[in-house]
């Protein structure tokens, strides 16, 4: 089982769009996939039409994987399950502090799912606290969307610095450009600079396109309502590029 986090400490960069489309493509390719929506805003749960639990169970989330099992919902797609977010998940940073072993908790919990799923995708909230550290430990790869603008470049540098300072393996970081507007000189220039500074950026980039924006309206992955659009094609290319990562270190 591989764990793939869609993560950035910045909001509105395309984490959820990536989590939803990659989860669908994985399931469509025959991988038994679980999407865990860790963001209390619950956007990926919404895209998959999965409702949050009535009762706040956030205090039980990190205690045993059996609690996760109770909250797994089937999506309308074969091989794709979802654990929807609850607003209570906003307390995860504080809860992890109180529970102790905050860095290894998520990793330990997810191990309980390894016979059920081939791929777990974490749709992460924009945070760099205890939850983020728990995510860095639990994930095989951290897919990090980077909008090619000055502030996003800075956020990416901060993430690299954080990994260095806290001894997280940098090879887990898989950055890619998101919401790219190639007609903008700033975007082109920032992509060039960042690619020259870091060879870890994926070749694939996701363009800024109204198809992807319309996912909210359709409440479904982009390839189901605009299969020939730029968004669907870009995510399909990203998916192909992720294949070797998902095959590496086979259990
Ligand atoms: N490539 C894209 N092109 C256009 N709009 C996008 C793209 N990716 C995401 N969006 C839109 O931008 C907003 C933020 O995207 P989202 O994936 O929710 O970001 P995050 O999860 O990082 O906060 C959403 O309204 C989404 O529909
Ligand atoms: Mg999101």
User: pLDDT > 90: what percent of the chain?
Assistant: 94
Give residue 12 CA to ligand 1 midpoint distance, Å.
6
Specify the residue with its C-alpha closest to ligand 1, atom 14.
Answer: 12
- Count: domains in the chain: 1
Both tokens of residue 235? 């995510």
**Cα 125 from Cα 224, distance rounded (Å):** 25
CATH of the domain at 116: 3.40.50.300
- Write out pLDDT tens, residues 5-47: 999 999 999 999 999 999 999 999 999 999 999 999 999 999 9
Structural domain harbouring 126? 2-247
The number of C-alpha atoms within 13 Å of 150 and in the hemisphere containing its C-beta is: 2
- Write out pLDDT tens, residues 90-127: 999 999 999 988 899 999 999 999 999 999 999 999 99
Give residue 12 CA to ligand 2 midpoint distance, Å.
7
Buried b / exposed e along 233-243 (16+ C-beta atoms within 10 A) = bbbbebbeebe
Specify the residue with its C-alpha closest to ligand 1, atom 23.
Answer: 12
Q: Give me the pLDDT at residue 39, please.
A: 98
Residue of 123, 117, 200 whose CA lies nearest to 157: 200
* Ligand 1 site-directed mutation target among 17, 21, 44, 212, most atoms within 8 Å of CB: 17
Buried b / exposed e along 149-162 (16+ C-beta atoms within 10 A) = beebbebbeebbee
Which atom of ligand 1 is least distant from the CA of 210? 4
Which residues' Cβ are closer than 6 Å to ligand 1? 11-17, 43, 178-179, 206, 208-209, 212-213, 215-216
Specify the residue with its C-alpha closest to ligand 1, atom 13.
Answer: 12
Which atom of ligand 1 is least distant from the CA of 11? 23
Note the Cα 139 to chain centre separation in Å.
Answer: 10
């Amino acid at each position: 089982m591989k764990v793939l986090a869609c993560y950035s400490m910045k909001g509105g960069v395309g984490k959820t769009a990536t989590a939803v489309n990659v989860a669908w493509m994985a399931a469509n390719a025959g991988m038994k996939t679980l999407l865990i929506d860790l963001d209390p805003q619950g956007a990926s749960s919404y895209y998959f039409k999965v409702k949050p639990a009535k009762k706040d169970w956030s205090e039980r989330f990190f205690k045993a994987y059996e609690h996760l099992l109770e909250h797994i919902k089937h999506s309308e797609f074969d091989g794709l399950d979802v654990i929807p977010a609850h607003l209570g998940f906003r307390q995860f940073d504080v809860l992890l502090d109180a529970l102790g072993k905050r860095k290894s908790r998520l990793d330990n919990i997810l191990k309980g799912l390894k016979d059920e799923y081939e791929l777990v995708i974490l749709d992460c909230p924009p945070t760099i606290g205890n939850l983020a550290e728990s995510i860095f430990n639990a994930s095989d790869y951290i897919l990090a969307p980077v909008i090619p603008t000055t502030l996003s470049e800075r956020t990416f540098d901060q993430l690299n610095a954080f990994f260095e300072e806290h001894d997280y393996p940098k090879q887990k970081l898989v950055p890619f450009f998101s919401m790219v507007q190639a007609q903008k000189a700033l975007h082109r220039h920032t992509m060039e600079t960042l690619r020259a500074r870091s060879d870890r950026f994926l070749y694939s980039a996701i363009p800024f396109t109204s198809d992807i924006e319309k996912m909210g309206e359709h409440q479904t992955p982009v390839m189901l309502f605009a299969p020939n659009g730029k968004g669907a094609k870009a995510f399909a290319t990203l998916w192909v590029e992720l294949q070797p990562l998902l095959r590496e270190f086979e259990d």
